[in-house]
Structure 1
């Protein structure tokens, strides 16, 4: 099973402790120090061709992007799949068993699997042969008041081919998928991402926006029902707008 890393800012000690308390059932989760957007030198990043000078990401969005990018590079370097989670992720108690089963049955050449649902948000799916798509929307509802029920729930998840996905709170990525995303994303730049067939055009305001532009070319999947949800509090998140 793919090694798992949780992205966590050095200054976000309480968030890491909360992650560990909520997800004590997970085994062998490694902490990965997130890139703190407050400390970045944008001029230097432009010189290194990591970003373009006209990129308007917030400090938090840029730090988040570079945190994910660093782990993609690790997946390529090790030539091993990797599971990445942000520190507000809340996992089903059955995540590891479902993950093992689903990975055994998915195509061996998969590139990207999203395990989480960003609430409220959409996933754009391949619904039927012939290029017929469907848009799936999640609603927050009362789920954050019933975390224990979510974690304990017995479900029968499946992996569905996806065209566009937003929210990178928890996903697995293969070395091939990581390499493709690195080639596509650099330099990180302004762009309008067209969701062909869905009538959507999205401005690139975060790493999940730019990755959405490549998803139709990848063997990308989303898990339904999701096995991970997120606590969307902003304070001290790796994505915090600072």
Structure 2
């Protein structure tokens, strides 16, 4: 059995009920999933309740401003903390898991697609991407592709303990939003694999778990941000050049 954790704020009862209904429908439609998946709601770290303050040791305010030109919002910190906690749980229990946010819908491909993923040897597979992927390569599995493109979002992904440990090892300090960090395969060495077609679709209602800091960089921070961005692009290019991997 593979645990499926749904990240949900305790105060978001409507989202809980909606997701609970979607899960029930999924299991009624595909009964065999009851023998494969075990769904469990995970109480998200709540920024409004200042719960993210427990993770302050991970946040480097000055480095964040220097490299990004702006701080991480409280919502972004809480979102990172929620996923970080589940990575720890995956590593500690030494069992693969699936992590979902509570604003997703299951596509018609979910049941068969997730069955193939949990039987694979891959350590991390995204179940969807927010951006349209124009650059990717096939893998040994017909419905999973490899990409170096930015995918964005943390709506849903499959993760093994080895993948979780790699994420954790390079996330001692939080500088970027969690989805940006997860896309930085050249930093944490967790390659981006994506299920195609997507196994999830995003609910049209806006999320209430995180918010993006919209403050624009000015002056010196704008310069340091651009230097950082260029440096990361060069590092990514060199990494891809020297770390070709065939899946």
Same fold (TM over 0.5): yes
Distance 1:6 1:174 in 2: 16
Distance 1:221 1:73 in 2: 21
Partner residue of 1:181 out of 167, 173, 189: 167
Distance 1:31 1:18 in 2: 12
Q: Between Structure 1 and Structure 2, which shows a larger proportion of helix residues?
A: 2
Contact (CA 8 Å) 1:4, 1:29: kept in 2 or not? yes
Change (3 A) 1:43 1:226: closer
Specify the structure having the higher radius of gyration (Cα): 2
Partner residue of 2:183 out of 188, 195, 212: 212
Q: CA deviation at 1:166?
A: 1.4
Distance 1:32 1:186 in 2: 22
Aligned match of 2:97: 82
Distance 1:8 1:43 in 2: 18
Change (3 A) 1:124 1:221: farther
Aligned residues: 193
Contact (CA 8 Å) 2:138, 2:146: kept in 1 or not? no
Aligned match of 2:45: 35
Change (3 A) 1:126 1:228: same
Q: Between Structure 1 and Structure 2, which shows a larger proportion of strand residues?
A: 1
Distance 2:52 2:16 in 1: 27
Unaligned 5+ runs, structure 2? 28-33, 65-70, 214-247
Q: Which moved more, 1:61-70 or 1:164-173?
A: 164-173
> If the length of structure 1 is used for normalisation, what is the TM-score?
0.70
Q: CA deviation at 1:101?
A: 2.5
Q: Secondary structure at the match of 2:6?
A: strand
> If the length of structure 2 is used for normalisation, what is the TM-score?
0.69
Contact (CA 8 Å) 2:4, 2:40: kept in 1 or not? yes
Q: CA deviation at 1:57?
A: 1.4
Aligned match of 2:229: none
Q: CA deviation at 1:184?
A: 1.4
Computed over aligned residues only, the root mean square deviation of the Cα atoms, in angstroms, reads 2.7
Contact (CA 8 Å) 2:113, 2:195: kept in 1 or not? no
Are residue 233 (structure 1) and residue 205 (structure 2) matched? yes
Aligned match of 1:194: none
Change (3 A) 1:83 1:43: closer
Change (3 A) 1:59 1:184: same
Contact (CA 8 Å) 1:163, 1:215: kept in 2 or not? no
Unaligned 5+ runs, structure 1? 130-155, 190-203
Residue-by-residue CA offset, 1:77-105 (whole Å, 9 max, x unaligned): 0111110000001012552332112443x
Partner residue of 1:160 out of 106, 120, 145: 145
